[in-house]
Amino acid sequence: MRYVVRKIHQRYPRELTRFKTENYIPQEHYTNVLKWDNFSMHAQQWKTVLGHFFHGREDLNFLELGTGNGMCSNFLLDNYNCKLDTVDVNDVNNVEEDGKKYSVISSENLKPFIDEGRCTFNQMTTKEFLLSNQDKKYDFIYVDASHDKDLVLTDAILSFDLLTEDGLMIFDDYGWGECKIGIDAFLDCFDKHIEVFYKDWQVYLRKL
C-alpha cells in the first residue's frame, strides 16, 4: 500500500487552536483547526454512555478506526483507564491561514500517550490493521474512517469479531453521504447479535 507523503509545515500552534464547544478541551500538547473539531459536540453524551459501560473498570482496551486529528483519542485517554489502538492512513493534514501554511500532525497530538505506552498510532488502512490483528479483543470500538459504504461495512464486519461480549461500538457520520447504507447493511445482517440503543448522527450498539 502506498501512502501520500505530505510536506510538513510549521505545526499548527496552540494559541490559534479553538474548539466548537467546551464539552471537552484537550491538554496543551494538542493543536487543531477549529473547522476540524468534529468531536467535542459529542463529548457530553459519550461521557454519559461510556460512563455507564465502563465506570470503575480498569485495563480497558479501545480501538479507533479513523484517527483524524486525534481529538477523540485524547478524550478517551484522558477520561478512561485504557490502552488505545488508533488507525489512519494519514498522519499529517495541512492548512493555510492568513497566508501561512501549517500542519496538524496526529502523532504529535497523541505524543504524551504514545510515550506513556498507552496509545499506538497505526498508519495504515483499517482493513490492513484489522486483518493483521484478529487475535486482539477490545471493550470499545469507534468506527469513523472511510465514508464509502462498502468500506464502512468492511470495517464493521472485521472489527465486530474483535469486540468483547457486552462491548460497545459507535459509528460516526450516519447522516453523511453513503455511510448510512453501509451501517444499515451491518445492522440488518447482525441484528440478532447486537442491541442498538441510539441512532442519530451517530449509532450506538452493544454486542450481545
CATH of the domain at 93: 3.40.50.150
Chain mean position to CA 64: 4
In a domain, 4, yes or no: no
pLDDT digits (tens, 9 = 90+) for 167-205: 999 999 999 989 999 999 999 999 999 999 999 999 999
In a domain, 5, yes or no: no
Distances from the Cα of 15 to the Cαs of 11, 32, 109, 160, in angstroms?
A: 11, 10, 15, 40
**For the whole model, what pTM was predicted?**
0.95
pLDDT digits (tens, 9 = 90+) for 93-151: 999 999 999 999 999 999 999 999 999 999 999 999 999 999 999 999 999 999 999 99
Instruction: Print the domain residue range for 110.
Output: 10-207
CA distance 74 to 85: 12
In a domain, 62, yes or no: yes
pLDDT digits (tens, 9 = 90+) for 49-81: 999 999 999 999 999 999 999 999 999 999 999
Does residue 23 contact residue 44 with C-beta atoms inside 8 Å? yes
Interhelix angle 43-54/71-79, nearest 10 degrees: 40
In a domain, 2, yes or no: no
CA distance 182 to 186: 6
In a domain, 3, yes or no: no
Confidence check: pLDDT of 160 > 60: yes
In a domain, 1, yes or no: no
- Counted domains in the chain: 1
Using pLDDT thresholds of 50, 70 and 90, give the confidence band for residue 5: low
Using pLDDT thresholds of 50, 70 and 90, give the confidence band for residue 4: low
Using pLDDT thresholds of 50, 70 and 90, give the confidence band for residue 2: very low
Nearest to 106 by CA among 116, 123, 127, 91: 91
Query: Exposed, middle or buried by CB within 10 Å (0-12, 13-18, 19+), for 197?
Result: exposed
In a domain, 183, yes or no: yes
Cell matching residue 126:
483499517
In a domain, 161, yes or no: yes
Gyration radius of the chain over CA positions: 17
CA distance 41 to 53: 20
